[in-house]
Structure 1
């Protein structure tokens, strides 16, 4: 028995030594139980060499051969050896230009690897059943299916597959624009996934009818934590008589950005008081909801655990912003607030004064293109000066051109108090250029006292020769650990 073991080990060592020149050429080596040949530009001739490696790696658990175009049409060579790496748990085949024959070979080989986590990241639309139909239902782990060009028929197959995946926790079908037509089948399958915690259907061609279908499934998804229905513009108006969200009592995150939500859709606000665990809400790029969002924004006060609120480009009006400001006082856990591209914020930032003072958790504040004026920046500077916003890490004040040099100076003089700041953006919009004032020197001074700062965005600010020299000297002193993104000197 001992002789067999020694002989086996010698054979493995011999095979590894034979393949060392190939690995050295690629600058790769097996690390532990992982072989990473990602983006090695393997040619058709090269493929046989990593295939020959597999017999010498019986304990291999992770194999990554992604971004090698010529894997396509030769994958069967790998698949014929899969039985030799029976401990394989992760197989990555992203962007390998797989053909239908490759997919068929993959499906056959996976019969011997029922515990495998598969990551294709490839367009396999129309061929999904060839990969997945061979799995045993009690052992299958659903691969990522994002941007696979899935067809309506593939969607129907996923629905049937879900019936066998009662312990599935994550389902992401995002960027498969043709599966909306087979949503009925998917919904029937979802009713069996009682442990599902994450459901993502971003950009899947969903319609008004889709909202109602999903609503019928929500009553079965009691454990759902994250729901992403974003970038489905045809859903507009679908929430009008769909109370399904009220069933998701453990929901923590909802993403409805760019869904063309209208006043009729705002009826879903009625469920907010039932979402006691809610933490993340993204309603960005729904401009039609702006004038009708007052009641919804007022009800946010019932979400004390809310951490992230994204309302970019929602065409908010003064009344809506006032309602938001009043509700935000009751949101002590807020970490991320984004109001960019809502012009009503300009001259009205004072409405958020109490929130800015009371917030001890705020880490990201985005106010890009909000028509901020000098008084708004003065207010922000005073809040910083009094010791608030101490945990702020990212501050975006870009595309606000109505702020005078004097207020930029005051702002920069107090900036050093934001000790945890990592990113600051004060860039101008592409059509605007302005010469930096004396505040630039105060900015450089403040940055030297900010231990975490790595990025300063100031595109379209024109630096005179003297300030350009100051910046070059600063970069040399700090060995470019801080990136000033000025887009080149004008």
Structure 2
């Protein structure tokens, strides 16, 4: 809030406040001017929203025609400043630092938005405790399809008011209540109005402190939500005790396309809550055979699942439409990897696979990685920090040649890559789609970046947008010189990171001059990470001259001047 706004509030003036408008429009003045000019040409003809407003207002006796005119003019100002198209269908005030006064202003606007379909007021702390003022107006925005209230510090009263209001918006398709701890223990109060035939397609309840009772209620509700396509219960560890109910409910959600159980406390050994053969085996056996349309499955960051994939039933193979599988940081064992070796290559539609941060894979994943060649649609392969060994990296390199659709390749924090980047030479030469390549902390040596430089010189990796070579401190200045001399061939590069480790500081060599020259030939680049590289005085002057001459914004994140 500006100082002017604060002064106005303190003096009790009644002049219409516009801070919410300014926050919404920040950074789009040119678009606003165009919209204002368009509105000026239609002043003589009332727009549809004004006509609807007149209809609704005439249902209530006004004290005078002047009062009606004032009301219309006030909301016409909102329309001009917010933009007609944006206000009529979508009001996005996500992370705008709304105050209590701003909330009142927004509530006053809702009666004039009968066609509103999307309302997003997430990440605004002052929404908490005031939601009832919005829910009381829900009947006026009955066409609402998307409601996002993530991280709004909702209170128990807010939750109850929301539950009562949802009945007023039968067209609702997406509901996001993530990062509101008071949702936990009160989920039935919110979703109790959802009945059979509900149009809801997406429910996001990330980190809502859901209880086992909430999970049980949700499991009983799921069969009524025949249109549900996305269910995100991530970071709710206490729902483990109600997975039986949730799994049974999922049997009736045949249209489900996304299921996220990231960091939900899933464990292989859950006999104390009735799962004798392991919770994952039970869950897959109970639910997955009915989820034939599932496109994305996220079981990541469930560290206690170690060993839970050993008896993976054949039902997982039935997820023939699966496109995204995220198993990062699941403490996979050698036996887990053996089971996944039998399953993953059969998921022929898989586009994204994340196995990162499973360090026990290093010596046991050779067969799995070699069989990735049977995934022709794979676009993203993230296998960083898996303690790969020479043999497993060789298998991966040989398989990657067959992944012609690969766009994201992350091998960071696998030390065995250092000195062996030549194993990826054919992949780098043949890749026509690669956009992101991450080799951070791979113990790369000068020969590795020299190889990379030659690949660039030959015109390969033309689509690369992000390149991460950070934390490879063993590369000498000659290696960086060869690399920077050929960097100019990456015409679509947006981000480059060559930062040093936190414990290491070095002076930039003469290669820095080649880097500056290359940047002038890269029309898309905006970010260059150079943390802990020190610029001597002469290079400081070169950078200052470059900053003065350049016509676009490029951020050099370096260690400072010396």
TM-score (norm 2): 0.81
Equivalent residue runs for 1:234-313 within 5 Å = 234-243=304-313, 244-266=315-337, 267-313=339-385
How far did residue 477 of structure 1 move?
1.1
Equivalent residue runs for 1:315-326 within 5 Å = 315-326=387-398
**Mind listing any 5+ residue stretches in structure 1 that lack a counterpart?**
none
CA distance in 2, matches of 1:422, 1:182: 45
For each residue in 1:319-361, what CA deviation from the matched residue of structure 2 results, as whole angstroms up to 9, or x when unmatched? 1101111111221111111110000001111111111111111
Structure 1 residues 299 and 13, CA, compared in 2 at 3 Å: closer, same or farther? farther
Contact 2:199/2:227, CA 8 A, preserved across alignment:
no
Greater shift after overlay, 232-241 or 67-76? 67-76
Structure 1 residues 428 and 5, CA, compared in 2 at 3 Å: closer, same or farther? closer
Aligned to 1:62: 118
How far did residue 373 of structure 1 move?
0.7
How far did residue 36 of structure 1 move?
4.7
Contact 1:125/1:151, CA 8 A, preserved across alignment:
yes
Structure 1 residues 480 and 461, CA, compared in 2 at 3 Å: closer, same or farther? farther
For each residue in 1:65-101, what CA deviation from the matched residue of structure 2 results, as whole angstroms up to 9, or x when unmatched? 4444343333223322322222233333333322212
Contact 2:198/2:227, CA 8 A, preserved across alignment:
no
Which of 204, 212, 215 matches 1:144? 204
How far did residue 407 of structure 1 move?
1.7
Structure 1 residues 361 and 131, CA, compared in 2 at 3 Å: closer, same or farther? same
Structure 1 residues 214 and 426, CA, compared in 2 at 3 Å: closer, same or farther? same
For each residue in 1:287-320, what CA deviation from the matched residue of structure 2 results, as whole angstroms up to 9, or x when unmatched? 0121111111111111122111111100001111
Q: Is the aligned partner of 1:386 residue 2:458?
A: yes
CA distance in 2, matches of 1:42, 1:159: 37
Aligned to 1:431: 503
Aligned to 2:302: 232
Equivalent residue runs for 1:68-87 within 5 Å = 68-87=124-143
Q: Is the aligned partner of 1:218 residue 2:288?
A: yes
CA distance in 2, matches of 1:295, 1:315: 16
Aligned to 2:25: none
How far did residue 232 of structure 1 move?
0.5
Equivalences, count? 485
TM-score (norm 1): 0.93
**Mind listing any 5+ residue stretches in structure 2 that lack a counterpart?**
1-51, 60-64, 269-277
For each residue in 1:176-227, what CA deviation from the matched residue of structure 2 results, as whole angstroms up to 9, or x when unmatched? 2221221111111111111111111111111122311231111111111111
Structure 1 residues 13 and 159, CA, compared in 2 at 3 Å: closer, same or farther? farther
For each residue in 1:402-456, what CA deviation from the matched residue of structure 2 results, as whole angstroms up to 9, or x when unmatched? 1111121111111111111111111100001111111111111111011111111
Structure 1 residues 272 and 98, CA, compared in 2 at 3 Å: closer, same or farther? closer
Structure 1 residues 59 and 326, CA, compared in 2 at 3 Å: closer, same or farther? closer
| Corresponding residue SS for 1:180 | helix
| Corresponding residue SS for 2:392 | helix
Aligned to 1:93: 149
CA distance in 1, matches of 2:340, 2:242: 25
CA distance in 1, matches of 2:166, 2:68: 24
Please state which structure has a larger fraction of its residues in helix. 2
Structure 1 residues 181 and 446, CA, compared in 2 at 3 Å: closer, same or farther? same
| Corresponding residue SS for 1:330 | coil
